[in-house]
């Protein structure tokens, strides 16, 4: 896909990884619809950066756990442009042991990490099929941001890992369902940003499991996402950006 002047929807746009994806897209000439929940200050910074890069942008603040909110933002998006790229990056990351979880916790984790991505994908496909009039295939790209814990789940992350594993399964199924109109892929980061409070000892032990011997960068994740947007012959794949952790 020739990405210049295309429009991408990026959820969780104010997060550390997604912010870099937004900037990477803007530098390549992609217009950005940035969906975020609470971080208004980061949204303002991104908006300023996109203006300097001379791309069009739309910032929408909403809670993706509410299906009516998703319907509302797509009405706003349709007024703005016809997007051909969807990046499902919004996520809740939290460690919680089995004896500490409750129904609400499980529901929230699944709703944000999986359910919202599915409904967003549905609305995106409906809009693209209605608005994009071209014989060239594919007409759109869906890229889901997952996590290597879906493949090697550590103790204490059962619900989070399961929610991301669901995203991987959906990615492969949707790739078959939506071809040739859409490609559907996933990017699965490993250790990119240390969680606040991570001890020096834990960092050392985690790095010892990574063949590359270091953490990754948000830019390296963004490069993988951009590759999948540009390449029309890759679908149903999960690209691990993990320094070899999963091999």
**What pLDDT, in 10s, does the model give residues 181-224?**
999 999 999 999 877 778 888 889 999 999 999 999 999 999 99
Token couple for 132? 């994009």
Whether 11 maps to a domain, the answer reads: yes
* Tens-place pLDDT, residues 1-25: 899 999 999 999 999 999 999 999 9
Whether 247 maps to a domain, the answer reads: no
Question: CB under 8 Å to 21, separation ≥6 — which residues?
Answer: 10, 87, 89, 218, 221, 222, 225
Query: What is the mean predicted confidence (pLDDT) over 107-129?
Result: 96
In degrees rounded to 5, what are phi and psi of residue 65?
-75, -10
What CATH code is carried by the domain that includes residue 117?
3.40.50.720
pLDDT value of position 53: 96
Of 152, 178, 115, 113, the closest CA to residue 242 belongs to 152
Cα 101 to Cα 51: distance, rounded to the nearest angstrom = 43
Residue 244 has pLDDT above 90, yes or no: yes
Distances from the Cα of 46 to the Cα of 31, 57, 77, 123, 189, angstroms:
13, 10, 18, 25, 22
Whether 136 maps to a domain, the answer reads: yes
Cα 190 to Cα 53: distance, rounded to the nearest angstrom = 29
Supply the angle between the helices 16-27 and 218-230 in degrees, to the nearest 10. Answer: 50
Give, for 23, the enclosing helix (H) or strand (E).
helix 16-27
Question: CB under 8 Å to 217, separation ≥6 — which residues?
Answer: 192
Whether 163 maps to a domain, the answer reads: yes
Whether 246 maps to a domain, the answer reads: no
Whether 1 maps to a domain, the answer reads: no
Whether 159 maps to a domain, the answer reads: yes
Q: Name the H helices within 135-191.
A: 158-178
Put simply, whether the predicted model's pTM sits higher than 0.85 gets the answer: yes
Whether 218 maps to a domain, the answer reads: yes
pLDDT value of position 181: 97
Please check whether residue 18 is in contact with residue 145, taking contact to mean a CB–CB distance below 8 angstroms: yes
Radius of gyration from C-alpha coordinates of the chain: 18
Distances from the Cα of 38 to the Cα of 12, 41, 42, 44, 121, angstroms:
10, 9, 9, 12, 22
Specify the number of domains making up the chain. Answer: 1
Distances from the Cα of 194 to the Cα of 95, 214, 215, angstroms:
14, 11, 8
Cα 19 to Cα 10: distance, rounded to the nearest angstrom = 9
Q: Which residues are the active-site residues?
A: 160
Of 83, 88, 142, 85, the closest CA to residue 115 belongs to 88
Residue ranges making up the domain that contains 198: 7-241
Distances from the Cα of 66 to the Cα of 69, 70, 77, 190, angstroms:
5, 7, 17, 29
Residue 120 has pLDDT above 80, yes or no: yes
């Amino acid at each position: 896909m020739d990405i210049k002047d295309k429009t991408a929807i990026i959820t969780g746009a104010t997060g550390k990884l997604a912010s870099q994806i937004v900037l990477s897209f803007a530098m390549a000439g992609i217009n950005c619809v940035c969906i975020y929940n609470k971080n208004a200050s980061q949204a303002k910074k991104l908006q300023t950066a996109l203006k300097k890069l001379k791309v069009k942008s739309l910032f929408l603040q909403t809670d993706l756990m509410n299906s009516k909110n998703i319907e509302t933002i797509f009405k706003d998006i349709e007024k703005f442009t016809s997007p051909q790229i969807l990046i499902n990056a919004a996520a809740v990351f939290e460690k919680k042991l089995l004896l500490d979880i409750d129904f609400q916790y499980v529901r929230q984790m699944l709703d944000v990490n999986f359910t919202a991505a599915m409904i967003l994908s549905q609305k995106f496909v409906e809009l693209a099929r209605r608005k994009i009039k071209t014989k060239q295939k594919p007409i759109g790209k869906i890229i889901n941001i997952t996590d290597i814990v879906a493949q090697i789940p550590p103790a204490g992350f059962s619900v989070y890992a399961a929610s991301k594993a669901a995203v991987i399964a959906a990615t492969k199924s949707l790739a078959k369902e939506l071809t040739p109109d859409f490609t559907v892929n996933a990017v699965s980061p490993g250790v990119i940003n240390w969680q606040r409070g991570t001890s020096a000892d834990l960092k050392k032990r985690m790095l010892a499991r990574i063949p590359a011997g270091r953490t990754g960068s948000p830019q390296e994740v963004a490069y993988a996402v951009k590759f999948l947007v540009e390449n029309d012959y890759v679908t149903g794949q999960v690209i691990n950006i993990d320094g070899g952790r999963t091999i």
